[in-house]
Amino acid sequence: KKNARTKTDKLSFKKYDPVARKHVEYKETKIK
C-alpha cells in the first residue's frame, strides 16, 4: 500500500519491522 510518508522519503524512510520489533531505516531497496 502507498503511504504519503513513504512517498515523501523514498530514498530513506523509517518503517516498523514486526519481526525485529523495532523501527528500521529502509533504503531504496525494499526488504519484505
Q: What is the pLDDT of residue 26?
A: 62
| DSSP E strands, the chain | 13-17, 22-26
Q: What is the pLDDT of residue 7?
A: 55
Domain range enclosing 22: 1-32
Q: What is the pLDDT of residue 19?
A: 75
Q: What is the pLDDT of residue 23?
A: 65
pTM, two decimal places: 0.19
Q: What is the pLDDT of residue 16?
A: 61
Q: What is the CA radius of gyration of the chain?
A: 9
Residues of the chain scoring pLDDT < 50: none
Provide the 8-state DSSP code for 5: H
Q: Which three cell numbers stand for residue 4?
A: 504519503
